[in-house]
A = this chain, B = another copy of it.
Amino acid sequence: MEPIDAPAGRQQRRKPTIRDVAAASGVSRGTVSRVINGGHWVSPEAREKVDKAIETTGYYANTHARSLATGRSDSVAFLLTEPQHLLFADPTFALLLRGAAEALAARRKTLVLLVAGTPEERENVSHFVGAGHVDGVLLISSHEKDPLLDSLIAAGVPTVACGVPLGHQDDVITVSIDEVGSARTAARHLAGLGRERIAMIAGPEDTPGGRFRVVGFQEELGERFDADRVERGDYSHESGAAAMAALLARDPDIDAVFAASDRMAAGAIATLRAAGRSVPDDVAVVGFDDSGLAASVDPPLTTMHQPFDEISAEMVRLLLDAIAGKDPASVTLPASLVTRASA
């Protein structure tokens, strides 16, 4: 029972292989393969015949076979190492993912989503990546000293991280924004508005954003910096609200706040409103990220714009370079102030 001509509908005819194309164009499989892979060392006539045969047969290369033969997979992992709920609640993650998906699709690479939250997942991911099922990894994690990162490095898997994982400054390629500089910009903006008692809601100390934005903030404020006016959150709305409450309790006369994420800024605004302060009149607020959230908060947030599209595009570019054997240098991108109503 030849399935080739099975009654229509049920079993679709066997997919055309490189043999079929070779037969249809009267050349050998080797030549077809050469045409597919750039057409070098192939005569124009042969190339044309093959192209036509590919067209008529509807041939499409089998990636598994190709991967088996070449050792490449033409796919890249987008690896999340935070507990899932944290990352997926963060709008910036979607932005990064979108950019990466776009950039990879343009280069005809496949994006495999990997989540390494639980220890078990980490173990599986480590195996999966170590086994070479992907050519490289886009690492989305900013926390300090990630053992998973260590294992990736040890396994020699090309990796590009987003943000500079603390403790890995030198042994991994990274794409990050100028944390210190952008924090300075935010602080300068607030100071330029004539605000005197400027507070900050920072991120976790074990993340680069949490650490270096405080540094920039302090640098810019100089003498006027007051460590009592710095609280830390975990980038979430609730933590921003809580931090703002703590700040207010300590100094009711605060007239400006720089939050290290838009979500914390939104939380802070909620607390301020509840405390009877108006934004931006009583207290000016600057956020960070310029995620989708920023424009829809009331009042719309003045915030530091992170160029997520560029970040992800750069990550992809560097990763593909690394996979190709080049040794690309890390990249730092600037963030820019977007002025809306909150400050």
Contact surface of A with B, Cβ cutoff 8 Å: 12, 15, 60-65, 67-68, 73, 75, 78, 84-85, 88-89, 91, 93-95, 97-98, 101-102, 105, 108, 110-113, 115, 121, 124, 127-128, 130-133, 155-156, 237-238, 263, 266-267, 269-270, 273, 292, 295-296, 298
What are the residues of chain B within 8 A of A63 when measuring CB–CB?
131, 133
Q: Roughly how many angstroms separate A102 CA and B125 CA in the complex, as a whole number?
A: 12
Q: Can you name 30 A-B pairs with beta carbons within 8 Å?
A: A12-B155, A12-B156, A15-B132, A60-B127, A60-B130, A62-B68, A63-B133, A64-B64, A64-B68, A64-B133, A75-B112, A88-B94, A89-B94, A93-B94, A94-B94, A97-B113, A101-B115, A102-B115, A105-B121, A105-B124, A108-B124, A110-B112, A111-B113, A112-B112, A237-B295, A238-B296, A267-B296, A269-B298, A270-B296, A298-B298
* Given A64-B67, A298-B270, A105:B115 Cβ within 8 A: yes
The reply to whether B131 and A89 form a contact with Cβ atoms under 8 Å apart is: no
In whole angstroms, what is the CA distance A95 to B88 when docked?
7
Interface centre among A60, A98, A102, A295 (most CB of B within 10 A): A98
Q: Smallest Cβ distance from A99 to chain B, in angstroms? A: 9
Contacts of A65 in B (CB 8 A): 64, 68
Please name the residue on chain B nearest to A237 by beta carbon: B296
Give bound CA distance, A75 to B114, whole Å.
12
Number of this chain's copies in the assembly equals: 2
Nearest CB of chain B from residue A310's CB, rounded to whole Å = 16
Name 5 extra pairs, CB < 8 A, besides A62-B132, A88-B97, A105-B115: A61-B131, A110-B112, A237-B296, A238-B296, A269-B298
Minimum Cβ distance to chain B for residue A38 (Å): 19
Which chain B residues lie closer than 8 Å to A273 at the CB level?
A: 298
Question: What chain B residues lie within 8 Å of A105 (beta carbons)?
Answer: 115, 121, 124
Q: How far is the CB of A269 from chain B (nearest CB, A)?
A: 8
Nearest Cβ in chain B — how far from A102, in angstroms?
Answer: 7
The residues of B that contact A296 with a CB separation of less than 8 Å are: 237-238, 263, 266-267, 270
Q: Identify which of B61, B113, B124, B295 contacts A78 (C-beta below 8 A).
A: B113
The closest CB in chain B to the CB of A84 belongs to: B98
A92 to chain B, nearest CB (A): 11
